[in-house]
Amino acid sequence: MDEYKKEFAELFRGYTEAYGVFQIEDGQTEGKQKGKAITVRGQVGEPHWDAHFHGRTGLGIVPLLSNDHLCFGAIDIDDYTLSLSDLNDKIHSQNLPLIPFRSKSGGAHLFMFLEEPVPAKLAREAMETMANLLGFHGVEIFPKQDKRPDPNSVGNWLNMPYFFAESTDRYGIDEDGNAIPFQEIVGYVKSRRTSAKALQHYTTEEKTRTEKKEPLAGGPPCLNTLLIRGFPPNTRNNTLFNLGVYAKKAFPDDWEETIENYNRDLIDPPLDHREVGAVVKSLSVKDYNYKCKDNPIVSVCNKSKCLVCKYGVRPDEEIPKLGRLTKVMTDPPVWRIDVIDGGIIELSTEELQTPRQFQKRCMEELSVMPPVVKGDQWREIISGLLENLEIIEVPKEASPKGRMLDHLSDFLTGRVQAKKREEILSGKPWLNDSRHYFRMKDFLLYLDRVKFTEVKQNKVLAYIKEIEAVDHTFFNIKGTGTNVWSVPQRQQPKE
């Protein structure tokens, strides 16, 4: 990799112990691209960047460094109808230290680059304020955490720009709204970097208090976003209907008067009294949900966030606000869910499927007791999170099965071994003719002694049956019939 590409990679320096890969589903051409997000534990190096630049495999970088500082961060805007040029004009008119990049799906990543690493908490607070100033309240900020909850946590990664560098559609935008060629992006980024001192301007008490307030408290992200940015033309009736749905949920005692106020203050020009009356009459018949599939809110719909808003699509139960869902590919898999303002909890598949089990885990890990959500609502919430599932592959030896097999090796080769076949009855493994012989019940007792409970007993036998050249036989020892298992002796590597 040449020096220029090394400079590019240095601008996006992040966590070096893991990286991301995104496998796009076939046949997608529009909107947010769906696929499988895989987190791979391993060193990020030149081969990964080289594959990215040549269009072979896209690379995702975790911005959060091991010391919880950042060299770069990003605001992720999943609105595929916005004009990058108009957004760029807003950024420059407010002199914000952001560079818009076209994302892989056609949205925008607003990158912020630092002259030297700064604490993630400071950078995230500053980017949240900048997002609000641009009219994008509540969008995703990368990294998503101020610090890692534990040393083994990877964090969230972001797809890198300039995939297939010479023919890319993931490019940066200059001050005039033009695409920046790959050969010029490094110099442009260096000219736009900011400092920790400059970021303090965006994290003052006054700014965070005034700019972070939701126009519709507890309302769906789509309406809050459009209230800040402005509603598009020819959508007045649907806009007032959706505002009416919110009013009825949030102000059940005086929702009709609230709709009148919304029409007067938020609709430009306001609808006449007959049209307003028609909306009120319609909403009086029954409790409607938002028109999520219609304009103006379809283009800024954020289903997974809306599902956990107090007055979102299904407001019947209050539950913790949930962030990214991660699946760790152990056997069985472990699910990690980000409970915003609470932390990350780990769940089994059964616990994730069952609202009451989720409540129990929240109590155990976060000391909070959310209500038990109805089954159909819980399915919708989890289905929304699964749309952006992050998958973490782990080495086989790091899985419960791998650790169980390590314990089997320790049991067979430990200090307590039979010197002759008869001692198998004493619970000792016996090595003969390059094979280890043992009784299953003795190995299960060993697992109890070492307090290994990650694999249930019925699974232990199933995993042992999968060992290459495993054998089950019957010994007659001192007149006693004995069921014995045997596995080949592991060959030691040559010095």
Residue 493 in domain: no
The answer on 377 and 451 residing in a single domain is no
What CATH code is carried by the domain that includes residue 114?
Answer: 3.90.920.20
Domain boundary among 328, 362, 392: 392
pLDDT at 397: 61
The answer on 413 and 386 residing in a single domain is no
In this structure, how many other beta carbons lie within 10 angstroms of the beta carbon of residue 100?
23
Residue 329 in domain: yes
The answer on 128 and 192 residing in a single domain is yes
Domain boundary among 210, 236, 271: 210
Residue 429 in domain: yes
In this structure, are strands 390-393 and 322-328 parallel, antiparallel, or unpaired?
parallel
pLDDT at 8: 97
The answer on 205 and 86 residing in a single domain is yes
Structure tokens at 476: 């007659």
pLDDT at 455: 83
Mean pLDDT per block of 10 residues along the chain (495 residues) reads 93 94 58 67 92 92 96 90 87 90 88 96 92 83 88 87 93 94 96 90 53 73 80 88 94 94 92 94 89 84 71 62 81 82 83 91 84 78 78 70 90 91 94 95 94 85 91 91 92 48
Global pTM?
0.52
Q: How far apart are CA 459 and CA 444, in angstroms?
A: 11
Q: How far apart are CA 65 and CA 326, in angstroms?
A: 19
Judge if the upstream peptide bond of residue 296 is cis by omega within 30 degrees of 0: yes
The answer on 139 and 246 residing in a single domain is no
Structure tokens at 30: 């529009």
The answer on 181 and 40 residing in a single domain is yes
The answer on 477 and 355 residing in a single domain is no
pLDDT at 232: 78
Q: Which range marks the domain in which residue 76 is found?
A: 3-210
Sign of the four-CA dihedral 141, 142, 144, 146? negative
Question: In whole angstroms, how far apart are CA 275 and each of 246, 271, 281, 294?
Answer: 18, 6, 10, 19
In this structure, are strands 435-438 and 69-77 parallel, antiparallel, or unpaired?
unpaired
Structure tokens at 131: 């997002």
Residue 216 in domain: no
The answer on 157 and 24 residing in a single domain is yes
The answer to whether the CB of 477 falls within 8 A of the CB of 430 is no
Q: How far apart are CA 495 and CA 493, in angstroms?
A: 6
The answer on 47 and 122 residing in a single domain is yes
The answer on 83 and 153 residing in a single domain is yes
pLDDT at 75: 96
Residue 301 in domain: no
In this structure, are strands 158-159 and 322-328 parallel, antiparallel, or unpaired?
unpaired
